[in-house]
Amino acid sequence: MIKKVLVISTSMRKNSNSDILADEFIKGAKSKGHSVEKICIKEKNISFCKGCLSCQVNKKCSINDDAQEIFEKIKNSNVIVWATPIYYYSMSGQMKTLIDRLNPLFVSKYDFQDIYLIATAADNNNSAFNGIITELNGWTSCLTKTKLKGILKATSLTYPSEAKEHPNYLKEAYKMGENI
């Protein structure tokens, strides 16, 4: 089955390691014929959730910004891939802000079931990813049809473009994309 895949890159850094690995995932997914779109948060205007909960009635956020367009793309995709650097043992603030704005999903029909995570950290220990995995599992557990299907943990990546020097991470990202 050909899947509609949405990759959301949440790093604000040019040549970010998580973005490089997201691109390898995309190559792998496209090699199997899947339709892939990539959104880079650094190019979007996304405001903080106000907690008004009007989205629970209107099935739409009351804030008019780029999160509305991203919400529609997420809702209509089969697979969602989050790519993020790890900041203080958690997801990027941009990723968290967008997830908060996806509150209308709880009262909407959505197509996606499979969630993937590509995360990079300067830390050299896999425990650096525990926080984001817990948080992302919390989000997916609130969406009854979804499951965190795959996680790429890339450690010891501090500076821009370092992922290019780690063929094992590049290969793992490509394979994950192939196997969605």
Average pLDDT in the 68-84 region? 96
Mean pLDDT rounded to a whole number for the chain: 96
Q: What does the pLDDT read at residue 86?
A: 97
Residue type, 100: D
Q: What does the pLDDT read at residue 118?
A: 98
If DSSP codes are grouped into helix, strand and coil, which group holds residue 114? strand
Average pLDDT in the 163-169 region? 97
Q: For 135-147, how does the pLDDT look when each residue is reduced to its tens digit (9 = 90+)?
A: 999 999 999 889 9
Angle of the 17-31 helix axis to the 167-178 helix axis, nearest 10: 40
Given a cut of 90, whether residue 159 has pLDDT beyond it is yes
CATH architecture of 4-178: 3-Layer(aba) Sandwich (3.40)
- Of residues 167 and 144, more confidently modeled: 167
Q: What does the pLDDT read at residue 91?
A: 95
Q: What does the pLDDT read at residue 80?
A: 98
Q: What does the pLDDT read at residue 144?
A: 86
Given a cut of 90, whether residue 155 has pLDDT beyond it is yes
What are 161's two structure tokens? 């473009």
DSSP 86: -
Q: What does the pLDDT read at residue 113?
A: 94
pTM for the whole structure: 0.96
Given a cut of 90, whether residue 170 has pLDDT beyond it is yes
Angle of the 66-75 helix axis to the 93-101 helix axis, nearest 10: 70
How many angstroms separate the CA atoms of 47 and 94, rounded?
10
Contacts with 145 (C-beta within 8 Å, 6 or more apart), sequence order: 110, 112, 113
Q: For 10-65, how does the pLDDT look when each residue is reduced to its tens digit (9 = 90+)?
A: 999 999 999 999 999 999 999 999 999 999 999 999 999 999 999 999 888 999 99
Contact between residue 104 and residue 59 where contact means Cβ atoms under 8 Å apart = yes
Q: For 90-123, how does the pLDDT look when each residue is reduced to its tens digit (9 = 90+)?
A: 999 999 999 999 999 988 899 999 999 999 999 9
